[in-house]
């Protein structure tokens, strides 16, 4: 079975045989969005018909991206986590409707009733009642000092925004919990389960999970952000890539060849009949939670329904059944699009600021199969997307111009200085350091910056430019003039994983005591 999958990956036609339309779209997306690196693969009728790689693993480094280059697949890891769980269901080691507490007695949600009734399936379909990205600050920015145990303990302090099972709201923390459920049921740590149940039987030879050595593995794409001087690496990997707590939600890395083998397995189940039963293949792709159909989906794909399965988004595109997911991390973007009835799949991997490129390129390639009569291009969809975002920016009247900012003076903040504590995020210190007032999070060292004053309000200017969502600091006096601290987004369109609104800090100690610990 492994030899069969490897052979499928190797049956790539030469570049001169690749459809001109694919080459044109890939090159236009790469150029328009000034990407550092890009890898694209297409399967049609169960066969790999196209692969293309462009750019470098590190901008200016000289090593080109190829089909074996490792990329962070981010939230496309979720489908791998549910694949492992489905294998455990086939093996009789768990059921989708088992209570989570059967495997993790320490598991708690804010509402005890929800704790008792949360099933394994509920961990996977974004119906928990938590708000969008609730608690993600325990996962990102990486690296940080949170553990999986911290994440499970922190869930009890996250207040719901909706009732249980009533509303779709994307979350990541419960996939971390799902990984720990799998570990208990499968009798091995999550990363070992992924290797045992997925990588080895499917021949995904380059994929990495858990801790690994960058130099030994080699050919690892690094994330980039775009600057006026061009693409630059951010959050570069060290010699050893650690086992991050976010692994089950978004921490796996794979190459284009690996992802094509993964996609090919789903599109051609007869090639690997022993890997997963028909019943569990159906379960994974069964709609579990309704999702909203956006105006863009209606206009671009003529979509009529949208739902979430187990780690996959399910919808229709121009009358074709579509199974897909995206992955987003700082400086890394991925997309997997499947058209199961056509046995067709698309994989896109990017190591730069590629959200728009992923959207536009994925749409053009999908149209090729679902609406071949349409005359569309990268430029067409890029212009539509820019117009859409222009309207969003114009309507964001609450965005304040903060360019006229000055460092806050300790005397102005006065008794608001000190150490504050949130029950799930832990401590932050807002204290004088030299002539500046600094914000430092104890368990998230990348959340460090200078407190600035802008128009009579306070915000944090982060030290690391890759931390790209600034918070307002909202102090409320308590007894003796010291009380609480809340945070909110300066830019309402900031990434939802900076879930500042879920933080509820209380003053606990003066700076002198904070600095002595």
Strand pairing class (253-254; 71-72): antiparallel
Contact 84, 139 (CB under 8 A): no
Q: Which residue has the tokens 């997925």?
A: 198
10-residue mean pLDDT profile of the chain (517 residues): values are 39 50 97 98 97 98 98 98 98 98 98 98 98 98 97 98 97 98 98 98 98 98 96 98 97 98 97 96 98 97 98 98 98 98 98 98 97 93 93 65 92 93 98 96 98 95 96 86 90 94 96 56
**For residue 56, what pLDDT is reported?**
98
- Count of CB atoms situated within 10 Å of the CB of 145: 13
**For residue 375, what pLDDT is reported?**
85
Distance of CA 184 to the CA centre of its chain: 24
**For residue 303, what pLDDT is reported?**
98
**For residue 403, what pLDDT is reported?**
87
At the topology level of CATH, where does 2-392 sit? Beta-lactamase (3.40.710)
Please tell me the distance from the alpha carbon of residue 316 to that of residue 301, in angstroms, as a whole number.
Answer: 8
Burial of 402 (0-12, 13-18, 19+ CB in 10 A): middle
Residue 322: CB partners within 8 Å, gap ≥ 6?
Answer: 301, 314, 315, 316, 337, 338, 339, 366, 370
- Threshold 0.85, pTM exceeds: yes
Please tell me the distance from the alpha carbon of residue 115 to that of residue 329, in angstroms, as a whole number.
Answer: 29
Residue in 372, 370, 330, 377 with CA at minimum distance from that of residue 350: 330
Query: What is the phi-psi region of residue 229: left when phi exceeds 0, alpha when psi lies from -120 to 50, beta otherwise?
Result: alpha
Q: Which two tokens stand for residue 307?
A: 């739902």
Contact 106, 121 (CB under 8 A): no
């Amino acid at each position: 079975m492994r030899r069969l999958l490897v052979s499928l990956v190797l049956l790539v036609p030469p570049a001169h045989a690749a459809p001109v339309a694919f080459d044109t779209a890939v090159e236009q997306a790469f150029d328009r969005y000034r990407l550092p690196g890009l890898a694209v693969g297409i399967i049609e009728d169960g066969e790999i018909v196209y692969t293309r790689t462009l750019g470098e693993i590190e901008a200016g480094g000289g090593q080109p991206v190829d089909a074996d280059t490792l990329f962070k697949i981010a939230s496309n890891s979720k489908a791998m986590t549910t694949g492992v769980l489905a294998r455990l269901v086939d093996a009789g080691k768990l059921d989708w409707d088992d209570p989570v507490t059967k495997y993790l007695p320490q598991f708690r949600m804010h509402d005890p009733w929800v704790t008792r009734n949360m099933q394994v399936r509920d961990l996977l379909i974004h119906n928990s009642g938590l708000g969008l990205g609730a608690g993600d600050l325990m996962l990102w920015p990486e690296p940080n000092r949170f553990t999986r145990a911290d994440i499970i303990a922190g869930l009890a302090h996250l207040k719901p925004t909706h009732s249980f099972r009533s509303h779709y709201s994307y979350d990541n923390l419960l996939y971390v919990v799902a990984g720990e459920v799998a570990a208990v049921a499968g009798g091995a740590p999550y990363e070992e389960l992924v290797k045992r149940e997925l990588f080895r039987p499917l021949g995904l030879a380059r994929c990495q999970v858990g801790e690994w050595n960058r130099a030994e593995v080699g050919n690892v794409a690094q994330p980039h952000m775009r600057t006026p001087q061009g693409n630059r690496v951010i959050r570069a990997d060290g010699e050893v890539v650690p086992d991050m707590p976010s692994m089950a939600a978004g921490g796996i890395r794979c190459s284009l060849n690996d992802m094509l083998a993964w996609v090919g397995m789903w599109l051609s189940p007869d090639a690997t009949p022993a890997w997963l039963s028909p019943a569990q293949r159906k379960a994974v792709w069964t709609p579990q939670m309704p999702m909203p159909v956006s105006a863009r989906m209606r206009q671009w794909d003529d979509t009529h329904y949208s739902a979430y399965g187990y780690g996959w988004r399910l919808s229709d595109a121009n009358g074709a059944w579509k199974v897909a997911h995206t992955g987003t991390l700082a400086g890394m973007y991925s997309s997997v699009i499947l058209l199961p009835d056509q046995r067709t799949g698309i994989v896109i991997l990017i190591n730069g600021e590629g959200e728009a490129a992923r959207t536009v390129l994925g749409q053009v390639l999908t149209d090729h199969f679902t609406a071949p009569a349409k005359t569309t291009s990268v430029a067409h969809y890029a212009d539509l997307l820019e117009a859409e975002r222009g309207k969003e920016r114009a309507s964001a009247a609450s965005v304040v111009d903060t360019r006229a900012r000055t460092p806050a003076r300790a005397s102005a903040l006065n008794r608001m200085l000190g150490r504050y504590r949130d029950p799930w995020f832990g401590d932050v210190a807002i204290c004088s350091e030299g002539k500046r007032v600094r914000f430092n999070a104890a368990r998230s060292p990348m959340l460090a910056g200078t407190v600035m004053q802008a128009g009579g309000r306070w915000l944090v200017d982060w030290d690391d430019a890759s931390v790209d969502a600034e918070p307002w600091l909202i102090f409320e006096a308590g007894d003796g003039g010291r009380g609480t601290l809340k945070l909110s987004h300066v830019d309402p369109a900031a990434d939802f994983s900076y879930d500042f609104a879920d933080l509820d800090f209380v003053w606990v100690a003066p700076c002198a005591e904070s600095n002595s610990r």
